Every structure is written in C-alpha cells, then in structure tokens.
C-alpha cells in the first residue's frame, strides 16, 4: 500500500508537506499541490480511512437497521431491492454502509449505542419494529435518520405511494366488472396497512360499492398460512366475493394454494390480486395482477436524503417522500359481467 512517505520521496518533499497538499491546506503552493496530487494518483494512493476519520471526525459510514420478522431476510425481493438501491447510491456519494446490531463482544448495546460506537454519520431504518424502545430512541436521537415506509415526526420518510397504488388496483378490478371485492390486509399497526386500507375504503365508496365487514380480513405480510385460512373463510361465505386482494404477492401464494385445493380456477372461478410486483408474481400461471413498487428508487432516494441531511444539516427539512408504483395487469383478475 502506498504511504505518504513514498509520495514524499518521489516528490522530494517532507511527509508533512504531502499531508498538507492532499488536505488542500493554504501554506503549500498550488504548483506543489498539483505535483503531489498527480504523483499520488499515479502511484494509486488511497488515504487511510481510520486516519482520515480521526483527522476530520467523519467516518463516511451509514448505519442500516434491518430487522425483518418474517424470516426472509435479505432474500426478500422488496427489501433486497431497497437495500441495493441504498447501497448503490451511498457508494456513488462516497459512503459505506454497515448493518446495525445490538451485540458486541458478548455485551448488549442499544442500536443508538452501536451507532455511536461505530461512528455512523446517519442511519437508514429499512425494516424494524417501530414500537421497540431501542428503535424509538434511535429515531428521537441527534443522528440524521431516514425511515422506509414509516412516518415519524423527527425523520424523513421514503415510501411507495400506497394510497395511489391501492386506488389504481381497485379501479382496475372494478373495470373488469367486479363489484364484490374482498381485501386481506397486513398488520393493523403498520403505516403501510393504514394507507392501503383507507385508500381501499375510499375508492370503493367513490365507486358506489359497499364493503361487507366479513370481506375485510387480516394476515401478516409475507406470511402464507394465515392468508390460506382467511381465503378459505372467504370462499365459504354465503355471499362469496368475486375478487380477493392480498397483502402482497407472497401471501397471495397461500390463498392460491387453497383455491387450487378446493378445485377452483383462477380467474375463471375466483379472481385474485397481489401487491409488490415481485419477480415470482410474473412467473406464476396465470401471471398475477399486482402493483409493482420501485424498490431501487426507494432505496436510492433514501440514501440521497440521508446524505443530504448529513452534509447540509442547516438546510435539511423533515419530509415525506413518496415514490410512485405501477399497475401490472397480469391475468389473475378475469373479466366478468357486473
């Protein structure tokens, strides 16, 4: 690895002069600075990150909190897309990302303590239990924080446009002739669920459609077992819906299994629609009708906003940034006569 001493010997100056030149200090002439910089570049010199952090009190490192309850971890398509967008944009702007945890040398520490220990300059909360006191401590701290799909008064939030997405989905199903539309939604406490559920009711009302209470069900995101159970109950109702919307494309697979076990066909006997627009949704037969979320852009925008608040704290505002999704018509919602 090329050192300051190597550059100094090559340029015939002291290591102190090299250090000053690379840090653009005023007591070195522009001619000398340019000569030293060109030599450093030619030799492939990279400043030592630890030494730079000590000198500038900046780590150029962002913490990422990712605690995903469903057990899919980094294999989950939605979160992996968000994390990749976050990583790519952070690296473009000269930052590294490190995952936050609560254990170090067999000693438990809070998320905030870990961030301080690692000298993170900011934090992106991609997935977490937002009611956890440790997570709340982090969001209320002095660190710049951006959240994904969760609104908090102290943090900029980046999310998909769940309100518009649900409206587009319901209106498409309506145009296909459906009037009896059931909705199995995700966890009650989630801000994503609140937005989608409110949009579902509002859109149905705007279309002049009533929503029977038994048409609204709950099943956790990314969980197939409860989606199976709720689907079976919906299909055993006296007044069966003609279309079922699921929390996401993965949960829909649970419902699809039940439908097939009961000897029913999609979309001839019952129509289904998902959410997320995962790759698997378009590999199934028939291809799913769903809303594709722009996960890469969500992650990219989260990184941009976070780095902006790190580098320009005086001009930073707490914002809610909404990223548009898109309807994927698929083939799982059939056309019927109203």
Kindly report, residue by residue over 279-336, the tens digit of the pLDDT: 888 888 899 999 999 999 999 999 999 999 999 988 888 999 999 999 999 999 999 9
Question: Could you tell me the CA-to-CA distances from 122 to 57, 83, 117 in Å, in that order?
Answer: 14, 15, 13
Please report the pLDDT score of residue 21 as a whole number.
Answer: 84
CA–CA separation, 271 and 244 (whole Å):
6
- Asked whether residue 56 is assigned to any structural domain, the reply reads no
Residues 19 and 71 in one domain: no
The boundaries of the domain holding residue 87 are: 61-160+296-325
Contacting residues for 149 by C-beta, under 8 A, at least 6 apart: 157, 158, 159, 160, 190, 191, 192
- Asked whether residue 273 is assigned to any structural domain, the reply reads yes
pTM over 0.85: no
Residues 204 and 246 in one domain: yes
- Asked whether residue 336 is assigned to any structural domain, the reply reads no
- Asked whether residue 52 is assigned to any structural domain, the reply reads no
Residues 284 and 193 in one domain: yes
Please report the pLDDT score of residue 26 as a whole number.
Answer: 80
Supply the CATH number for residue 112's domain: 3.40.50.2300
Residues 115 and 151 in one domain: yes
Residues 68 and 155 in one domain: yes
User: Residue 57 corresponds to which tokens in the numbers above?
Assistant: 């009190």
Question: Could you tell me the CA-to-CA distances from 192 to 6, 30, 301, 322 in Å, in that order?
Answer: 56, 55, 18, 12
- Asked whether residue 211 is assigned to any structural domain, the reply reads yes
Total number of domains constituting the chain: 3
Please report the pLDDT score of residue 83 as a whole number.
Answer: 94
Query: CB–CB of 337/121 below 8 Å?
Result: no
Residues 184 and 304 in one domain: no
Residues 139 and 209 in one domain: no
Residues 305 and 205 in one domain: no
Residues 167 and 288 in one domain: yes
Residues 170 and 256 in one domain: yes
- Asked whether residue 257 is assigned to any structural domain, the reply reads yes
- Asked whether residue 337 is assigned to any structural domain, the reply reads no
Q: Please identify every stretch of the chain with a pLDDT value under 50, giving residue numbers as ranges.
A: 53-54
Residues 151 and 189 in one domain: no
- Asked whether residue 53 is assigned to any structural domain, the reply reads no
Residues 119 and 175 in one domain: no
Please report the pLDDT score of residue 25 as a whole number.
Answer: 81
Supply the CATH number for residue 21's domain: 1.10.260.40
């Amino acid at each position: 690895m090329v050192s300051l001493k190597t550059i100094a010997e090559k340029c015939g100056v002291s290591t102190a002069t090299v250090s000053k030149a690379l840090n653009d200090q005023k007591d070195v002439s522009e001619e000398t600075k340019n000569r030293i910089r060109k030599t450093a570049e030619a030799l492939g010199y990279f400043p030592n990150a630890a030494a730079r952090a000590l000198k500038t009190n900046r780590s150029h490192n962002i913490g990422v909190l990712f605690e995903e309850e469903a057990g899919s971890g980094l294999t989950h398509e939605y979160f992996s897309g968000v994390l990749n967008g976050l990583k790519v944009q952070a690296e473009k702007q000269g930052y590294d990302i490190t995952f936050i945890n609560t254990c170090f040398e067999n000693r438990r520490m809070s998320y905030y303590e870990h961030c301080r220990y690692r000298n993170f300059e900011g934090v992106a909360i991609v997935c977490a239990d937002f009611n956890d006191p440790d997570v709340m401590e982090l969001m209320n701290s002095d660190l710049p924080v951006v959240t994904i799909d969760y609104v908090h008064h102290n943090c900029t939030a980046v999310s998909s446009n769940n309100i518009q997405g649900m409206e587009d989905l319901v209106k498409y199903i309506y145009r296909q002739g459906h009037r009896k539309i059931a909705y199995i939604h995700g966890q009650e406490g989630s801000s994503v669920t609140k937005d989608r559920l409110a949009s579902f009711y509002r859109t149905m009302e705007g279309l002049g459609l009533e929503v029977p209470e038994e048409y609204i069900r709950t099943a956790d995101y990314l969980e197939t077992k409860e989606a199976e159970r709720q689907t079976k109950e919906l299909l055993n109702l006296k007044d069966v819906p003609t279309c079922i919307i699921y929390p996401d494309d993965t949960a829909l697979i649970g419902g699809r299994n039940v439908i097939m076990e009961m000897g029913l066909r999609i979309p001839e006997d019952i129509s289904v629609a998902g959410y997320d627009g995962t790759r698997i949704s378009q590999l199934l037969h028939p291809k799913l009708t769903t809303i594709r979320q722009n996960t890469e852009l969500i992650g990219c925008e989260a990184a941009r906003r976070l780095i902006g608040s790190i580098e320009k704290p005086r001009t930073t505002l707490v914002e809610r940034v909404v990223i548009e999704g898109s309807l994927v018509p698929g083939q799982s919602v059939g056309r019927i006569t109203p």
